[in-house]
Structure 1
Amino acid sequence: MPDVQSPDLRSVLESSETIAVVGCSAQPMRTSHKIARYMQERGYRIVPVNPNYDEILGESCYPDLPSIPDDVQIDIVDIFRAPQHTADMVQTAVDRSHQTGKKPVIWTQLGVSSSAAETLAAEAGFPYVRNRCIKVAYDRLLA
């Protein structure tokens, strides 16, 4: 397996402005919604990605990453999907990067990473955060 670029989390969080939350739920009790709202309240723009909704947290929701307009700069792709879907989510980030020329940090929430996803990210040159909660990292490093 190629080496995965493991980014400095503080630098990622300090330099990022926009987080695409893949699997973001409109249901306030769901973890993905709570964490997206938390990060939004700390000044990040949240771009929800879920084919089941048109809007979440006051933001337009997109069915997948390539559907996000090319002029929307995504700094972090935060994945809230089951591990068997994570590689597909990384592939959609790679597909979108062909449209935009940008390589966001792939951030996998706790228990979401897979070796196939890591391999795809590494082969495409994407920084990859394995099984870390972005809210916990934010609290620990920046709060």
Structure 2
Amino acid sequence: MHIDNLSDDDIARILRETRVIALVGASPKPDRPSHRVGTFLAQQGYKVIPVNPGQAGKTLFGETCVASLADISEPVDMVDIFRRTEKVMGVVEEALHVLTGLKTIWMQLDIVDDKAAALAHAQGAEVVMDRCPAIEIPRLGISQVA
């Protein structure tokens, strides 16, 4: 069992039900994992809203980059976090505060924050930790998401 205690069926359901992803820590540099994953997710049919204050106003993944989660004016299903573990709680707190209807907090590979996960769970969001959707989608054979 994985650290987040989610089964493959749980992960597949989350990825199939997700349509809009806020990608926190989005980078315009093609060699960065956040750029590769954001590009992959957009190619899979997800709407990927890049979040990076240093890139605000620029276009990444076919969407305009915003400075913070508070700058997103549409419903978001998932927040995908590309930030160091010590920054995760702040991202989760902001996400839960400003994104109504948020369904999932996704922490990328090597990112685990049990306190942030407990907070998200307490407010009704599912939490995925130490996983990458760009790995899980092909591994689980998910071909159509949108």
Pick the TM interval, shorter chain: 0.7 to 0.9
User: Quick check: 1:73 aligned with 2:75?
Assistant: yes
Partner of residue 28, structure 1: 30
- 8 Å CA contact retained: 2:103, 2:124: no
Partner of residue 132, structure 2: 133
User: Quick check: 1:110 aligned with 2:109?
Assistant: yes
Query: Secondary structure of the residue that 2:53 maps to in structure 1?
Result: coil
Equivalent positions of 1:41-56 (< 5 A) are 41-53=43-55, 54-55=57-58, 56=60
Query: Secondary structure of the residue that 1:119 maps to in structure 2?
Result: helix
Deviation at 1:57, TM superposition (A): 2.5
Deviation at 1:6, TM superposition (A): 4.8
Aligned equivalents of 2:6, 2:71: Cα separation in 1:
27
Q: Identify the range of structure 1 (58-67 vs 18-27) with the bigger mean alpha-carbon deviation.
A: 58-67
Displacement over 2 Å in runs of 4+: 4-7
Distance 1:120 1:88, change over 3 A: same
Task: Tell me how many residue pairs correspond in the alignment.
Answer: 135
TM-score, normalising length from structure 2?
0.85
Aligned equivalents of 1:95, 1:6: Cα separation in 2:
25
- 8 Å CA contact retained: 1:5, 1:125: no
TM-score, normalising length from structure 1?
0.87
Q: Point out where structure 2 has 5 or more consecutive residues left out of the alignment.
A: none
Aligned equivalents of 1:36, 1:43: Cα separation in 2:
11
Query: Secondary structure of the residue that 1:116 maps to in structure 2?
Result: helix
- 8 Å CA contact retained: 1:5, 1:128: no
- Give the counterpart letter for 2:102 in structure 1: K
- 8 Å CA contact retained: 2:50, 2:65: yes
Q: Point out where structure 1 has 5 or more consecutive residues left out of the alignment.
A: none
User: Quick check: 1:95 aligned with 2:94?
Assistant: no
Query: Secondary structure of the residue that 1:24 maps to in structure 2?
Result: coil
Aligned equivalents of 2:5, 2:67: Cα separation in 1:
27
